[in-house]
Amino acid sequence: MELEIHTLSDLFEQLGLDPSIEAISQFVAEHGPIPSEQRLHEAAFWSPTQAAFLQDAIQQDADWAELVDQLDSMLR
């Protein structure tokens, strides 16, 4: 089974957010840093649907997991 190759822009689009590089940078600047003890999906700025997607991606080690980890690092 081949995994799809996604980009950070694809992740933002999947989350219903503006996928442009400028918008991603602005999002990180506005919402980071989140506390180190808080899981990414628990951050207050996610909608319930977004939070569930992020949590599921990590728990299921989905093909999105690497990008979710990257976003997590960017927001720390």
Give the pLDDT confidence of 37-58 residue by residue, as tens digits.
999 999 999 999 999 999 999 9
Q: Tell whether 30 is covered by a domain.
A: yes
Q: Tell whether 3 is covered by a domain.
A: no
CATH number of 70's domain = 1.10.10.1130
**63 burial via Cβ count (<10 Å: 0-12, 13-18, 19+):** middle
Which pTM was predicted? 0.90
Q: Where do we find the tokens 């599921």?
A: 56
Report the pLDDT averaged over residues 14-27: 98
Q: How confident is residue 62, by pLDDT bands cut at 50, 70 and 90? A: confident
How many domains, in total, are found in the chain? 1
Tally of helices (H runs) and strands (E runs) in the chain: 4, 0
Residue 72, pLDDT above cutoff 50: yes
Residue 1, pLDDT above cutoff 50: no
Q: Tell whether 16 is covered by a domain.
A: yes
Q: Which domain range does residue 49 map to?
A: 8-74
